[in-house]
Structure 1
Amino acid sequence: MVIYFGYVAVVFVVQQLTGVPYTDLGDSGANLFLGAGLSLIVGAILLAITTTLLGWWRPALFDRHRSAHSWPIIAPAIMVLALLVNLVSTDWSSYDGAFFAASVVLLLVGFTEELTTRGLLLVSLRSRLSEVWVWFLTSALFGLMHLINALGGQPLAPTMQQVALAFGGGTIFYILRRVTGSLIWAMVLHGFWDFSTFAVGHGTPGPLAATGGIIEIVGVVIALASVAFVIRGADERLSTPATGVSATP
């Protein structure tokens, strides 16, 4: 929890110091880099150092056993479809080199947020709690992480909607970890998902732009209905994630 709150605090402070409101991130490449990209770079460096010092890379990135049920990967597959719809609907003619470069930096969000929640937090929770609580708490805290967007200038109503969708998205990423046995695929999907959501909101979106959001909701519903199957029989509880290192901070 110290690592979780520390990451959220670092991201919030760096974003506040840049002075770019959350609602203005998509206006230019400079805004996107200063308002989001810079905090991700700082967070990624600090998380990498923390994970190395703890010796938690292996348990944070890999499960010992994959889920016995692989069919729930339907939910992540649907999210990939929504991602592709976002990219097809993007007004690429509105991009310049600076905005594209800043957008690429957004891919780091997959590394930072996944390592924080479904990586380090997950490892720690597994030393104390059953897997159902591990799923619920990592997904819930991932969703609540987005509350800082309201402090950054986003209205409360869309922020709460974002929190709810992030809980569902977190469930999709959790399923992807359990089915593949690795957090890396969740990092990749998460990074490209955020890239696509900022991309489709830049310029003039195509006629299918709203379809991506609808497909995402379908994926979330399927994920919530199927997550129990990847939790069932999970044998991932850890007494210690690394030699000589306690599982909880």
Structure 2
Amino acid sequence: MTLNATDRYRVRPRVWIGVVIYLAYVAVVFGVQQIFGIPYTDFGKSGINLFLGAGLSLIVSAILLAITTTLLGWWRPALFDRHRSAHKWPIIAPFLMVVALVLNLASTDWGSYDGAFFAASIVLLLVGFTEELTTRGLLIVGLRSRLSEVWVWLLTSALFGLMHLVNALTGQAIGPTVQQVGLAFGAGTIFYILRRVTGSLIWAMVLHGLWDFSTFGLGHGTPGPFFALGGTLEIIAIVVAFIGVAFVIRGADERITATSPTAS
């Protein structure tokens, strides 16, 4: 699906709107998690911990994001680019991440799962919808109303990484949190490339959700022998993404130029 330059929106895209949505998302997730006070490092210990520590906040934020996107009339530009990247080879980075994902799943101690933990893990898939719609969806729409595409990539990936800083406020040590922020910046670049090459955010939502599903699974029980290889492939994918992102940005014409809101 393509988006025409003449498309109109219920609310005109603005940078500040995208930033406010991003900040509100972080605040809602953090606020709901604080209600139960489960430390981030304990999320993977049981199904109830995972649901109350992460799943419930994702359900609430998914509902609020869907309402917000509908009221703004931003579904199409949030989910679809006007044009796909002319350079396709950077899709190698997301492909490597898929391979790492498969290795993660192969290394998961499925015998340690019970029904409650598996159900909570399924809810965790919502993170692909919520975090992608927030950062590489609605935030992108706002930023594209004013900024060049290189800034759109840099800011959305950086803010995606920085949102993980709240994990230090919910029990995770600062060292692992900083490492997580850096890896998330790299993963955000991979998801951005996937959007630009396919022309759709939906594939990034799917990959993101499955990736978090696999990483929390590794923390439950005893990981198998492919655990380290999956982590190594993730780093390689990020390096490839940092090289390839310049190519998917080159020639991008995604600036949103709508000048007035629609009445419907």
- TM-score range (shorter-chain normalised) is over 0.9
Cα distance, 1:239 vs structure 2: 1.6
Structure 1 length as normaliser, TM-score? 0.97
Give the conservation status (yes or no) of the 8 Å contact 1:65–1:181: yes
Counterpart in the other structure of 2:204 = 186
Counterpart in the other structure of 1:17 = 35
Cα distance, 1:241 vs structure 2: 8.7
Identity %: 78
| C-alpha RMSD over aligned residues | 1.1
Which whole-Å CA distance do the structure 2 matches of 1:167 and 1:176 have between them? 14
How many residues end up aligned between the 2 structures? 245
Q: Cα 1:187–1:241, aligned 2, differ >3 Å: closer, same or farther? A: farther
Counterpart in the other structure of 1:238 = 256
Map Cα deviations across residues 188-237 of structure 1 (whole Å, 9 max, x no partner): 00000000000111101111112111110000000001100000000100
Which segments of 5 or more consecutive residues in structure 1 lack a partner in the other structure? none
Which whole-Å CA distance do the structure 2 matches of 1:204 and 1:240 have between them? 52
Counterpart in the other structure of 2:4 = none
Identify the match of residue 63 of structure 2 among 45, 48, 55: 45
Matched, 1:94 2:109: no
Cα distance, 1:243 vs structure 2: 3.5
Which whole-Å CA distance do the structure 2 matches of 1:237 and 1:164 have between them? 28
Which whole-Å CA distance do the structure 1 matches of 2:76 and 2:256 have between them? 12
Structure 2 length as normaliser, TM-score? 0.91
Cα distance, 1:244 vs structure 2: 3.6
Q: Cα 1:241–1:73, aligned 2, differ >3 Å: closer, same or farther? A: farther
Counterpart in the other structure of 1:6 = 24
Q: How does 1:151-162 map to 2 (within 5 A)?
A: 151-162=169-180
Instruction: Kindly provide the amino acid, as one letter, of the partner of residue 21 in structure 2.
Output: I
Which segments of 5 or more consecutive residues in structure 2 lack a partner in the other structure? 1-18
Cα distance, 1:242 vs structure 2: 7.7
Map Cα deviations across residues 87-133 of structure 1 (whole Å, 9 max, x no partner): 00000000000000000101000000000000000000001100000
Instruction: Kindly provide the amino acid, as one letter, of the partner of residue 28 in structure 1.
Output: S
Identify the match of residue 57 of structure 1 among 75, 90, 96: 75
Q: How does 1:204-215 map to 2 (within 5 A)?
A: 204-215=222-233
